[in-house]
Amino acid sequence: MLDLQTKLTYADYLKTADDERYELLDGKLVTSPSPREIHQYILGRLFLRLGAFIYGRNLGRIYCSPFDVVLSETDVVRPDLLFVSSARASILTADNVQGAPDLAVEILSPVTAERDGTIKLDLYARYGVREYWIVDPDASTILLLRRVRGRFEVGGIYGAEQSLRSPTLRGFSIVLEEVF
């Protein structure tokens, strides 16, 4: 049995049940319920568009959650979507990603919204995620953040009738009506 009073490590995390959705944030196990339908719909739409662009240009790999991103021994996250460029493929292992992806995408839900906008935002900035999208299904918006000098700056807030252009994936553009 795990002692939940001490900081847990990735080794402890690996002992958790496979039927739960866990992340390890500052040594604490955090769980989330299954996503809502709109979450899964948006995830699918983004994955299809990003995947076609990434694989069509041989830029790297894109993954959907659940796939562990080990940022440190006490920080293991599962972004809804993540992209690792070919230039950084060495951080990919058979079991997980060992380090920060180039792009992380989180789709807000009532349970995860605060965590995605605070704790995970700080982790992604600290460990070197180049670009972070926070997708808000209720507002039909995507907040694009890009890492500049160790912290995130707002690259734009895009609504359903706008096109999002990614600074990390040069040439990628998506009309958000296609997502929401």
Q: Domains in the chain, start-ordered, CATH in brackets?
A: 35-178 (3.90.1570.10)
* Cα–Cα nearest to 63, from 44, 48, 83, 85: 83
Q: Is there a cis peptide before residue 66, judged by omega within 30 degrees of 0?
A: yes
pTM listed for this prediction? 0.91
Distance CA 146, CA 64 (A): 20
User: Which pLDDT value is given to residue 4?
Assistant: 53
SS3 12: helix
Contact (CB, 8 A) for 106 and 79: yes
Distance CA 80, CA 58 (A): 21
User: Which pLDDT value is given to residue 1?
Assistant: 46
Task: Tell me phi and psi for residue 88, to 5 degrees.
Answer: -115, 20
| Per-residue tens of pLDDT for the chain, all 180 residues | 455 568 999 999 999 887 778 899 999 999 888 899 999 999 999 999 999 999 999 999 999 999 999 999 999 999 999 999 999 999 999 999 999 999 999 999 999 999 999 999 999 999 999 999 999 999 999 999 999 999 999 999 999 999 999 999 999 999 999 999
User: Which pLDDT value is given to residue 98?
Assistant: 98
